[in-house]
């Protein structure tokens, strides 16, 4: 079983601060990591290979800091990794990102399964997996919370919110998974140390046969006008008195605001 897992490098949302005057996020110095559902996809790939045999290739597009970030994927169980850190890729929208990933997957070679997270933790557009499947000419199964292999294909359980849908599809196929599919493992210290010895390749736009005009911000049709946190007006309510009295006042205030129900 040859599996490619697509990963996206994003800022650690827990450490992003918001400027009080402009409501803009402060991204300088924020650690970069992989999104939660990307880790679910990687975990599922590793579990499949542990059971069926084969190889897991982690594929990631991002900044040069990917050289460090990708070590987590290798420590979790990926056999090898390919990172796309060319500055020309920066600013790519979902259309261009899918094109870049498709070229990289074609260069990686034969595959049976491509796994992606259903959406990225930062903007959750959910467009890249579908666009990638279209470019590669593959069937796609979305919102997958359970996978099992059949003769010549796989059976997937899809989460349709109000119902579960079971579909069967032949290989090769692209599957995007939800967080319910598994619980990603935490790598041990030995696995982290071994990760540094696993194969890692770094490809540029030229390596993929792409010109600078085909990638990055210039080739993107999406323009982000602004990225602001929602406005929040503080009540500036001060509660005074003994602890028991203050607790009761707080409960009453939160009940009136609809935050809690009594």
Res. 142 pLDDT band, cuts 50 70 90: very high
Strands (E), the chain: 2-11, 17-18, 25-26, 32-34, 55-61, 80-84, 113-117, 140-150, 153-159, 164-170, 173-177, 200-203
The fold for domain 2-219 equals Rossmann fold (3.40.50)
Taking only the tens place, the pLDDT of each residue in 185-230 is 999 999 999 999 999 999 999 999 999 889 998 888 877 787 777 7
Where along the chain do its domains lie?
2-219, 232-262
pTM of the model: 0.84
Res. 85 pLDDT band, cuts 50 70 90: very high
> What local confidence, expressed as pLDDT, does residue 100 receive?
97
Taking only the tens place, the pLDDT of each residue in 13-69 is 788 888 877 888 777 778 888 989 999 999 999 999 999 999 999 999 999 999 999
Res. 253 pLDDT band, cuts 50 70 90: confident
> What local confidence, expressed as pLDDT, does residue 120 receive?
80
Helices (H), the chain: 36-52, 66-76, 94-108, 128-136, 189-195, 216-219, 243-256
| Backbone dihedral angles phi then psi of residue 20, each to the nearest 5 degrees | -65, -35
Taking only the tens place, the pLDDT of each residue in 107-119 is 999 999 999 999 8
Res. 89 pLDDT band, cuts 50 70 90: very high
> Is residue 91 scored above 80 in pLDDT?
yes
């Amino acid at each position: 079983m040859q599996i490619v897992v697509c990963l996206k490098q994003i800022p650690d949302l827990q450490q992003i601060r918001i400027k009080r005057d402009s409501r803009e996020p402060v991204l300088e110095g924020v650690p970069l990591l992989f999104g939660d559902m990307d880790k679910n996809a990687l975990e599922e790939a590793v579990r499949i290979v542990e059971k069926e045999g084969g190889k897991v290739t982690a594929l990631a597009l991002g900044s040069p800091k990917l050289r460090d970030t990708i070590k987590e994927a290798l420590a979790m169980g990926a056999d090898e990794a390919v990172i796309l850190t060319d500055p020309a890729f920066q600013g790519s929208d979902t259309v261009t990102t899918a094109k870049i990933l498709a070229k990289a997957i074609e260069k990686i070679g034969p595959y049976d399964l491509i796994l992606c997270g259903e959406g990225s933790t930062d903007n959750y557009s959910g467009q890249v997996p579908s666009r990638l499947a279209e470019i590669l000419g593959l069937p796609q199964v979305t919102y997958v919370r359970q996978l099992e292999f059949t003769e010549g294909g796989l059976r997937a359980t899809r989460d349709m919110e109000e119902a579960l849908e079971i579909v069967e599809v032949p290989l090769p196929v692209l599957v995007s998974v939800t967080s319910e599919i598994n619980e990603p493992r935490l790598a041990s210290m030995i696995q982290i140390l071994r990760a540094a010895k696993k194969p890692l390749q770094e490809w540029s736009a030229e390596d993929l046969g792409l010109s600078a005009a085909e990638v990055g911000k210039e080739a993107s049709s999406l323009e982000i006008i602004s990225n602001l946190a929602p406005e929040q007006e503080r009540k500036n309510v001060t509660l005074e008195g003994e602890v028991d009295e203050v607790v009761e006042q707080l409960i009453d205030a939160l009940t009136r605001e609809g935050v809690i129900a009594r």
